[in-house]
Structure 1
Amino acid sequence: MLKTKRIYQGAAEEDGCRILVDRLWPRGVSKEKAKLDYWEKEVAPSNDLRKDFHKERIDFEAFRERYVEELRKNKAVEPFVELLKEELAKRDVTLLFGAKNERENQVTVLQEWLEDKF
């Protein structure tokens, strides 16, 4: 099962494989507390796109469209998808993010996009 969770909620046994998919390290979270298996920052939105969204220069739908386009062109995505397939064959995978908004963020877009791949 592919799940998502804010990294600030802390690690839990049911998380399975924990993968941070933010480009920036979340503030106030130590590497020990994060208990990550992987940090896949290369599949996160570009800095320009991230800044446009966080500074409200674009709305969520425009962000979604641009991020999906970035994912289609991103060479880091194929190895990431393979990693996910390998991990999901063994256990659940939780994609971790730092955003406060749990519904409109890059992880919801990434999860939807990935679900079409499986």
Structure 2
Amino acid sequence: MRPDISIKRIYEETDSHDGYRVLVDRLWPRGFTKEKAHIDEWATEIAPSTATRLAYAHVPERWDTFKIQYKNELLNNEQLISYLDKWEEHPIITLLYAAKDKEHTHALVLQEYLIFCYNFRK
């Protein structure tokens, strides 16, 4: 079964409709305790690499290049399969991220990639 995959800023209120909550940032969000985060998992292995993240630096003009680099990382990420297998048992997955820009976040790229992977598996 393919889970419904949504994204949300970690700073937003926790909701019962979030399902399985996964932090997908490589760095822990500033000023946030683990107790307050209410996460089920921290998936640092599928976050953008440090080099890709630093090259992007949340500059919107670099967004298209960032998306290509991050998708290439995901394509070559051997650990992604284990996440796909594990998350299949959850009906709802919420990918959590800390960035302020909701239109240019790696979580959007990851969400799209995961949905593609789950659809391809069927």
TM-score, scaled relative to structure 1: 0.92
User: Corresponding residue for 2:113?
Assistant: 113
2:17 pairs, out of 14, 17, 29, with 14
How far the C-alpha of 1:10 sits from its partner, in A, is 2.6
User: Corresponding residue for 1:46?
Assistant: 49
Partner of 1:28: helix, strand, or coil?
coil
User: Which stretches of structure 1, 4 residues or longer, exceed 3 Å deviation after superposition?
Assistant: none
Is 2:105 the counterpart of 1:77?
no
Partner of 1:67: helix, strand, or coil?
helix
CA 1:33 to 1:23, structure 2 compared with 1: closer, same or farther past 3 Å?
Answer: same
**Seq. identity, %:** 38
Is 2:35 the counterpart of 1:32?
yes
Pairwise CA RMSD: 1.5
Q: What code does the residue aligned with 2:18 have?
A: D
CA 1:29 to 1:63, structure 2 compared with 1: closer, same or farther past 3 Å?
Answer: same
Q: What code does the residue aligned with 1:74 have?
A: N
TM-score, scaled relative to structure 2: 0.89
- How many angstroms apart in 1 are the aligned matches of 2:100 and 2:71? 21
Aligned length: 115
How far the C-alpha of 1:55 sits from its partner, in A, is 6.2
* CA distances 1:65-85 after superposition (whole Å, capped 9, x unpaired): 000000011111111111221
Q: What code does the residue aligned with 1:117 have?
A: C
Q: What code does the residue aligned with 2:41 have?
A: Y
Q: Which runs of 5+ in 2 are unaligned?
A: none
How far the C-alpha of 1:31 sits from its partner, in A, is 0.3
